[in-house]
């Protein structure tokens, strides 16, 4: 089974139509203007990306306790943009925002503790931070909780497995649009983790994630077609989803595609038909 993973520590890009202040108009006490200007330079709005300037303005706002500025400043330290990369300082800024109840910062703190970056690896503390963020509908935290409750975490083994909680959080995250959660929910249904084994439900969630470009879900859906789980065996459909997964760099997708082409009884005629189906699916993915 392919379980979606990968936890990022960067701040998600935000779209805005807000009127941004000119640098000369920003006063020392105007934390929102300082933050907006720092965000402008960090995101390159108007082609003005300048991480050094972003750090300067964000620090002014962060020093006055503005949580959004603390989060973005932490992200820049974590990525080494505008300042030397310094994970410990990144953690410190995220923690300041998290202590004020900022959901994105709480999610990031969970990520730090789950990976041991800048702090001691501690999954129990990671879960505590993720739960705080998830209770504010932070989709990344919902997905992270679902995954940690679904699969063993090194070096803790099965200590945190809790399939009912996994289903609960994965469903919330999937309904909030998380492709990773959709894939993991498909895994839960495919293997009967916390729910009755149901290949139709597994296929539903794999497909939803696969159409969002999730390579693990594409491979997993391909396996359902290859083995005929939930519907009749269909090597053409298996080819389509394995090829998408392989093209996205997924190791399992590449191995399954090679196996399908080299050792299974797929014919050149079937491959040609599958390539036409593949082109249609690629259009759907690009349209999303």
pLDDT, one tens digit per residue, over 69-84 is 999 999 999 999 999 9
pLDDT, residue 86, reads 97
Residues 211, 205: contact at Cβ < 8 Å?
A: no
pLDDT surpassing 50 at residue 20: no
276 lies in some domain: yes
Which among 100, 116, 151 is the end of a domain?
Answer: 100
pLDDT, residue 1, reads 67
106 lies in some domain: no
190 lies in some domain: no
pLDDT, one tens digit per residue, over 23-67 is 544 556 699 999 999 999 999 987 789 999 999 999 999 999 999
Cβ neighbour number for residue 104 with a 10 Å cutoff? 23
> Mean pLDDT for the chain?
90
Residue of 113, 115, 184 whose CA lies nearest to 146: 184
89's tokens: 């300082």
Cβ neighbour number for residue 148 with a 10 Å cutoff? 23
156 lies in some domain: no
The C-alpha torsion from 194 through 152 and 137 to 16, rounded to 10°, is: -130
**Domain range for 62:** 8-100
Cα 122 from chain centroid (whole Å): 20
The total number of structural domains in the chain stands at: 2
175 lies in some domain: no
pLDDT surpassing 80 at residue 8: no
265 lies in some domain: yes
pLDDT surpassing 50 at residue 234: yes
pLDDT surpassing 80 at residue 6: no
Which among 82, 100, 118 is the end of a domain?
Answer: 100
Q: Rounded mean pLDDT of 83-95? A: 97
Instruction: Categorize the per-residue pLDDT at 288 as very low, low, confident or very high, splitting at 50, 70 and 90.
Output: confident
Which among 100, 128, 151 is the end of a domain?
Answer: 100
The 3-class SS string of the chain reads CCCCCCCCCCCCCCCCCCCCCCHHHCCCCCHHHHHHHHHHHHHCHHHCCCHHHHHHHHHHHHCCCCHHHHHHHHHHHHHCCCCCCCHHHHHHHHHHHHCCCCHHHHHHHHHHHHHCCCCCCCHHHHHHHHHHHHCCCCHHHHHHHHHHHHCCECCCECCCCCHHHHHHHHHHHHHCCCHHHHHHHHHHHHHCCCCCCCHHHHHHHHHHHHCCCCHHHHHHHHHHHHHCCCCCCCHHHHHHHHHHHHHCCCHHHHHHHHHHHHHCCCCHHHHHHHHHHHHHHHHHHHHC
> Which CATH number is 13's domain given?
1.25.40.10
Q: Rounded mean pLDDT of 217-246? A: 97
pTM of the model: 0.85
Q: Rounded mean pLDDT of 275-288? A: 92
Instruction: Categorize the per-residue pLDDT at 3 as very low, low, confident or very high, splitting at 50, 70 and 90.
Output: low
pLDDT, residue 12, reads 47
Phi, psi (deg, nearest 5) at residue 50: -155, 100
pLDDT, one tens digit per residue, over 100-132 is 999 999 999 999 999 999 999 999 999 999 999
Q: Rounded mean pLDDT of 151-180? A: 91
41 lies in some domain: yes
185 lies in some domain: no
Q: Rounded mean pLDDT of 215-235? A: 96
Q: Rounded mean pLDDT of 230-250? A: 96
């Amino acid at each position: 089974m392919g379980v979606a993973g990968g936890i990022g520590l960067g701040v998600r890009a935000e779209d805005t139509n807000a009127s941004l202040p000119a640098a000369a108009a920003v006063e020392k006490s105007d934390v929102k203007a300082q933050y907006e200007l720092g965000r402008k330079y960090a995101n390159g709005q108007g082609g003005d990306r300048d991480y050094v300037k972003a750090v300067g303005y964000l620090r002014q706002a962060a020093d006055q306790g503005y949580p959004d500025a603390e989060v973005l400043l932490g992200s820049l330290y974590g990525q080494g943009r505008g300042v030397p990369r310094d994970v410990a300082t990144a953690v410190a800024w995220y923690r300041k925002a998290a202590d004020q109840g900022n959901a994105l910062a709480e999610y990031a703190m969970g990520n730090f503790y789950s990976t041991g970056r800048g702090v001691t690896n501690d999954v129990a503390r990671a879960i505590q931070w993720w739960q705080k963020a998830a209770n504010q509908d932070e989709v990344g935290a919902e997905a992270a909780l679902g995954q940690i409750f679904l699969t063993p975490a090194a070096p803790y083994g099965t200590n945190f497995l809790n399939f009912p909680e996994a289903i609960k959080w994965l469903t919330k995250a999937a309904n909030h649009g998380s492709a990773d959660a959709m894939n993991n929910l498909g895994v839960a249904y495919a293997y009967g983790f916390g729910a009755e084994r149901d290949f139709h439900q597994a296929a539903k969630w794999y497909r939803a994630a696969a159409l969002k470009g999730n390579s693990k879900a594409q491979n997993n859906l391909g396996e359902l077609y290859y083995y005929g789980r939930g519907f009749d065996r269909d090597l053409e459909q298996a080819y389509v989803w394995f090829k998408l997964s392989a093209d996205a760099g997924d190791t399992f997708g590449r191995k399954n595609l090679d196996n399908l082409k080299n050792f299974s009884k797929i014919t050149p005629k079937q491959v040609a038909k599958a390539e036409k189906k593949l082109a249609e699916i690629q259009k759907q993915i690009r349209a999303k």
